[in-house]
Amino acid sequence: MKDISVKDLENTAVRMRMKVVDMIYKAQSGHPGGSLSAADFVTACYFKYMNIDPKNPRWPDRDRMVLSKGHVCPIQYACLAGTGFFPEAVLDTLRKEDSMLQGHPSMNKCPGIDISTGSLGQGLACAAGMALAGKLDKKDYKVFCVVGDGEAQEGEIWEAANTAHKYQLDNLITFVDFNNLQIDGTCDEVMPNGNLGEKFRAFGWEVIEIDGHNMEEIVAVLNKCYASKNGKPKCIYAHTIKGKGVSFMENQCGWHGAAPNQEQYEQAMAELEAQLNN
Amino acid sequence: MSELKKIATRDGFGKEIVELGKENPDLLVIDTDIGKSCQTGSFRKELPNQHLNVGIAEQNGAGLAAGLATCGKVPFVVTYAVFGSLRMCEMIRQEICYPNLNVKIACSHGGVTPANDGASHQAIEDIGVLRTIPNMTVIMPADYNSTRKLVRQAANTYGPMFLRFTRDAVPQIYGEDVEFTIGKAHQIQDGRDIALIANGDTVRLAIEAAKTLAKDGISARVLDMHTIKPLDVEAVTSAVNEIGKIITIEDHNILNGLGSAVCEVAAELGKGIVKRVGIQDQFGQSAPYERLLEMNGITVEHIVKLAKELQ
């Protein structure tokens, strides 16, 4: 665990958001909405908690990060560049031919990606497999997983939730990115999830509800989860805003998978820059 | 060899996987609540720390295996062929084959062998679906000993693999000393007039047909094509060039299985004729296994008739 203040993490998260917007603008393709809603807790994981070695991306004892909602990989790419897995210039190749930065993450193309994802609902089972391997091998590493609220409509999520409970995977720390938006509308309109936190609790998980954009709360919950050995998998039920940090993207499902034009890009970058050192 | 007692290929898997698990502590069996009929009971008893059961949740079994494989484990996900191909299909594609992870899908009840269970449990599309996915290897052994050899080789060879076993006791074809290589057809006998290319339980039909044909002076080459992908293109090419007349025999839809794979080779060579014996693109029903084969013309008599017509 690295010694970094909440204020520095907040500024880092803003810088990661700027990279997200920048790379999607340059690619003219990608998913800004979910990348921005997950930005704060993914940044906290990479810059404070995760025990990783950019020079040895497949180090067996490392902490892992699985984006079950693989389309928000721009925020993971920004964090991997920011922690030294590849040069920042690589971010400009997002979604371009022969790039290591595929539209959805590919573990054999990009160093630091622990499993290839992109088809929704599948990442939590993979993360559970990694956490189970850690238990079988008596290793102390943690596995972080990011699940979307829309994605929780997939049945395999709940099969994996059962498995994590059965095998007491307290080393599996899952964020549910509760932004209540999916492609065709709000989750409540498309397919109401009810209270996802209560659902995970019913599956035997420890559930902690937080404001997913409050870095103090994120750090407090991760301190607790990182140290826990109570036999329960962890669900951090994070209230978030899709598109967080860019005024015109916030709470708009249209920004799920759209790239900004030049004017929108300049406004977004200016808005984010103003949030630095606030 | 036909005097030896009959034994199912699933039993060969159940026996060999225990030996392999003892040799490699990273080898895991992931059951999906049908371990009893897939013959993993001995593994569970003897190696409980390497045995997992995810319940009736095959998709999650595939994903869990992928995650375990990224950490150096060698998971065998065990289920019936219909579920291990179709229910798990997209997880196999996205999380196992695309990242090229070392996961084995080991399935009993291939083809129409779950006969009295009816169409829901009969796997007639599995090989076709899985051989379409890049990085996947598809294997169907013909008897007990070849199953043990091929399971051993699969466990010790990196990469995603689908292994298809069957329910019923079948005659033993090979002795314990016969060696098999994934991707290399096993020639049971050579011949000049017709090539019979079969896999799994239908290899015995090819052998019987060859014996009948021999009585009429027709000499058959019999190939056990236990690996459907990667196909032994060299063996098929030799059959096309040297004989030119081929009958494929399989307990699988005639679409996209062994017959189709052989046809692809012959068509690209631009010569030879191939007749496909297999499931006639129709669902099965609850009936005795031999009757289901008859309904689809998967019989010694039909193979012999086709072979004679080609002379």
pLDDT at A278: 59
Q: Quote the CA–CA distance of A226 and B223 in Å, as a whole number.
A: 57
Mean of the per-residue pLDDT values of chain B: 97
pLDDT at B280: 98
pLDDT digits (tens, 9 = 90+) for A71-129: 999 999 999 999 999 999 999 999 999 999 999 999 999 999 999 999 999 999 999 99
One fold for both B9-164 and B186-309? yes
Q: Which residue has the tokens 């979910």?
A: A34
Q: Quote the CA–CA distance of A56 and A93 in Å, as a whole number.
A: 22
Judge: A130–B54 Cβ closer than 8 Å, yes or no. no
Please give the helix or strand (H or E) that residue A238 lies within, else none. Answer: strand A234-239
| Architecture of the domain whose range is A6-274 | 3-Layer(aba) Sandwich (3.40)
pLDDT band at B1 (very low <50, low <70, confident <90, very high): very low
Residue in B52, B71, B98 nearest the CB of A116: B98
Q: Quote the CA–CA distance of A116 and A104 in Å, as a whole number.
A: 8
pTM: 0.97
- Residues of chain A with pLDDT > 90, as a percent, come to 99
Given strand B27-31, what is the order of strands in its sheet?
A: B51-53, B27-31, B74-80, B104-108, B161-164, B137-139, B227-229
Judge: B70–A108 Cβ closer than 8 Å, yes or no. no
Q: Within an 8 Å CB–CB cutoff, is residue B69 touching chain A?
A: yes
Q: Quote the CA–CA distance of B278 and B192 in Å, as a whole number.
A: 23
pLDDT digits (tens, 9 = 90+) for A136-161: 999 999 999 999 999 999 999 999 99
User: Which residues of A fall within a CB distance of 8 Å from B60?
Assistant: 125, 128, 156, 159-160, 162-163
User: Which residues of A fall within a CB distance of 8 Å from B88?
Assistant: none
- Check pLDDT > 70 for residue B3: no
pLDDT digits (tens, 9 = 90+) for A7-23: 999 999 999 999 999 99
How many CB pairs below 8 Å do chains A and B form together?
104
* Token pair for B22: 């003892």
- CATH topology assigned to domain B9-164: Rossmann fold (3.40.50)
Q: What is the DSSP string of A95-161?
A: TSTT-SS-SS--TTTSTT--S---STT-HHHHHHHHHHHHHHTT----EEEEEETTGGGSHHHHHHH
Closest chain A C-alpha to B95 CA, distance in angstroms = 6
User: Which residues of A fall within a CB distance of 8 Å from B67?
Assistant: 66, 115, 125-133
Residue in A108, A125, A133 nearest the CB of B63: A125
For the annotated catalytic residues of B, the residue numbers are 58
- Check pLDDT > 90 for residue A31: yes
Judge: B52–A155 Cβ closer than 8 Å, yes or no. no
**Do the Cβ atoms of B292 and B112 come closer than 8 Å?**
yes
Q: N- to C-terminal Cα distance for chain B?
A: 30
Q: Within an 8 Å CB–CB cutoff, is residue B60 touching chain A?
A: yes
Judge: B49–A133 Cβ closer than 8 Å, yes or no. no
Q: Count other Cβ atoms within 10 Å, centred on residue B209.
A: 29
Which whole number is the average pLDDT over B51-78?
98
Which whole number is the average pLDDT over B83-112?
98
Q: Quote the CA–CA distance of A15 and A21 in Å, as a whole number.
A: 10
Q: Quote the CA–CA distance of B84 and B75 in Å, as a whole number.
A: 14
**Strand pairing class (B137-139; B161-164):** parallel
pLDDT digits (tens, 9 = 90+) for B254-272: 999 999 999 999 999 999 9
Q: Which value does ipTM take for this structure?
A: 0.96
Residue in A107, A134, A155 nearest the CB of B99: A107
Chain B residue closest in CA terms to A114 = B70
pLDDT at B4: 76
Which whole number is the average pLDDT over B93-120?
98
Residue A207, φ and ψ in degrees, nearest 5 = -120, 130
Peptide bond into B160 cis (omega under 30): no
Q: Within an 8 Å CB–CB cutoff, is residue B8 touching chain A?
A: no
Burial class (CB in 10 A: 0-12, 13-18, 19+), B179: exposed
The residues pairing with B106 across neighbouring beta strands, listed in sequence order, are: B78, B163
User: Which residues of B fall within a CB distance of 8 Å from A127?
Assistant: 67
User: One-letter amino acid identity for A101?
Assistant: L
- Check pLDDT > 50 for residue A41: yes
pLDDT band at A277 (very low <50, low <70, confident <90, very high): confident
| Architecture of the domain whose range is B186-309 | 3-Layer(aba) Sandwich (3.40)
pLDDT digits (tens, 9 = 90+) for B112-152: 999 999 999 999 999 999 999 999 999 999 999 999 999 99
Which whole number is the average pLDDT over A243-267?
97
pLDDT digits (tens, 9 = 90+) for A156-195: 999 999 999 999 999 999 999 999 999 999 999 999 999 9
Please give the helix or strand (H or E) that residue A209 lies within, else none. Answer: strand A206-211
Closest chain A C-alpha to B96 CA, distance in angstroms = 9
Question: What are the boundaries of each domain within chain A?
Answer: 6-274
Question: What are the boundaries of each domain within chain B?
Answer: 9-164, 186-309
Secondary structure of B240-290 as H, E, C letters: HHHCCEEEEEEEEECCCCHHHHHHHHHHHHCCCEEEEEEECCCCCCCCCHH
- Check pLDDT > 60 for residue B2: no
**Do the Cβ atoms of B174 and B225 come closer than 8 Å?**
no
Question: A151 CB contacts (<8 Å, ≥6 apart)?
Answer: A68, A69, A120, A121, A157
- Look at residues B172, B167, B164, B114 and name the one whose alpha carbon lies nearest to residue B143: B172
